[in-house]
Amino acid sequence: MKIPLAWLNLLHEKARSAVAVAGVAFAVLLILMQLGFLGSVRQSATRIYDQLNFDLLMVSPEYLHLSNPGTFPQTRLYQAASLAEVQRVAHLDVGFQLWRNLETGNRRGMMVLGCDPQDHAFLLKELDAQRGELATLDSVLIDRRSRREFGSTEPGVAAEVGPRKVRIAGNFALGTGFGADGAIVVGDQTFQRLFAARPAQSVSLGLVQLAPGEDSDLAAEKLRELLPKDVRVFTRAGIGEYEQRHWLTKTSVGIIFGLGVLVALVVGTSIVYQVLSSDIANHLPEYATLKAMGYSRGYLSSVVLKQAGILGVAGFVPGLFLSLLLYRVARELANIPIDMSMERAALVLGLSVAMCAVSGLASLGRVHGADPADLF
């Protein structure tokens, strides 16, 4: 009958094993949170674009990201509309203004999206259904997922945007991600009032919808050949990749969360190594006795690695449940689009076991060095 030596070792030193499980759980929690935030950066990078009605996107050569798009001449939209593959064009203006809550007096930067109320610029049904409200000057639709500091989002509430007093005509649920704390949608005439210094014949984004059956890549190439160099053309997939790459690799947000995963792995590996190394030191006479009895180095190695694997799985469970709780808090309090996926959970389970296996392998030297002669 095989003796479950790995289990017995862990159960014999319950306090030390509990510390090891807590260390692994802490590392798992860190990894899941960092991966969750990293995933939310990727998701929020295209959140607004996912709800815009376009096949091709026209932007300025100075375009950095949605929150800083630059402008290009509106006449380029009319030129694009002349292409046979193009069914219709629309524009979307993007800017930032200070929003002042009239109840508290608090001021906070707000993303302002301006469009022609006659255009179906948005795919979000809730927003598209209310676009008629934007025909009234100084009427705004506000994102319910804007931060609470902006105040009430109920229709009829008055506020100030930049130099003008506005009235909330409706609301919608979209979210802006890491680029802004809140967003409003206004009509194009209201947008010109809020940004009087901006040239009237310039736009931030050109939304190009192709005729059914047209290939977006081929149409994009034709548009690039047709239009001057003062405008860039992206496909829907292309702008999504561009935004994700920008936020993940060119900003501190993506870099910090990526490094956080590495730090969590190092922390967890160090904790498990210390626990296993201490356990081996305390049981060196027992390991030496087993060697004297004829047990192979492979068997002793398997005992240590089994202990490491058990710690990896045991620490993953509480780490997973704690991360699910914090995911919910982040969603509800900070409006961060963070969700657990089966792929992420499976990945982190594998990382947890691998992390503990590395710690176990690093501890094997002491087991192999146990000398039966030291017992006498």
pLDDT at residue 220 in the model: 95
Classify 46 as helix, strand or coil: coil
Quote the CA–CA distance of 323 and 35 in Å, as a whole number: 11
Q: pLDDT band for position 284 (50/70/90)?
A: confident
In the chain, the largest separation of any two C-alpha atoms, in whole Å, equals: 95
Quote the CA–CA distance of 34 and 258 in Å, as a whole number: 7
Q: Is 346 exposed, middle or buried, given 0-12, 13-18 or 19+ CB atoms closer than 10 A? A: exposed
Residue listed under structure tokens 């790459």: 245
Per residue in 198-230, pLDDT tens? 887 899 999 999 999 999 999 999 999 999 999
Which stretch, 2-11, 273-282, 354-363, has highest mean pLDDT? 354-363
- Are the C-beta atoms of residues 247 and 42 closer than 8 Å to each other? yes
pLDDT at residue 105 in the model: 80
Determine the residue type at 71.
T
Which stretch, 239-243, 249-253, 305-309, has highest mean pLDDT? 239-243
Quote the CA–CA distance of 319 and 324 in Å, as a whole number: 9
pLDDT at residue 369 in the model: 67
Higher pLDDT, 166 or 289: 166
**What average pLDDT does the segment 312-341 reach?**
87
pLDDT at residue 370 in the model: 62
Q: pLDDT band for position 2 (50/70/90)?
A: low
Pairing relationship of beta strands 164-172 and 139-143 according to DSSP bridges = parallel
Q: pLDDT band for position 267 (50/70/90)?
A: confident
Q: Is the pLDDT of residue 34 over 70?
A: yes
Which helix (DSSP H) or strand (DSSP E) does residue 79 occupy? helix 75-81
Show the DSSP H helices in 121-251 as ranges: 125-128, 188-194, 216-226, 236-249
Per-residue buried b or exposed e for 3-13, using 16+ beta carbons within 10 Å of the residue's own CB: eebbeebbeeb
Other beta carbons less than 10 A from residue 52's beta carbon: 21
Closest listed residue to residue 312, CA positions, set 273, 278, 276, 356: 356
**CA separation (Å) from 268 to 24, 26, 203, 224, 311?**
5, 7, 50, 51, 11
Which residues neighbour 139 within 8 Å (Cβ) at sequence distance 6 or greater? 133, 166, 167, 168, 169, 186, 187, 190
Quote the CA–CA distance of 139 and 141 in Å, as a whole number: 7
Name 206's bridge partners: 58, 91
Q: Is the pLDDT of residue 142 over 90?
A: yes
Q: Is the pLDDT of residue 1 over 50?
A: no
Which stretch, 48-57, 101-110, 251-260, has highest mean pLDDT? 48-57
**What average pLDDT does the segment 162-188 reach?**
88
**Half-sphere exposure (Cβ direction) of 54: Cα atoms closer than 13 Å:** 29
Name 205's bridge partners: 92
Classify 86 as helix, strand or coil: strand
pLDDT at residue 37 in the model: 85
Name 232's bridge partners: 59
Stated pTM of the model: 0.78
Pairing relationship of beta strands 107-115 and 183-187 according to DSSP bridges = parallel
| φ, ψ (nearest 5 deg) of residue 363 | -90, -10
| φ, ψ (nearest 5 deg) of residue 110 | -125, 135
Quote the CA–CA distance of 124 and 165 in Å, as a whole number: 26
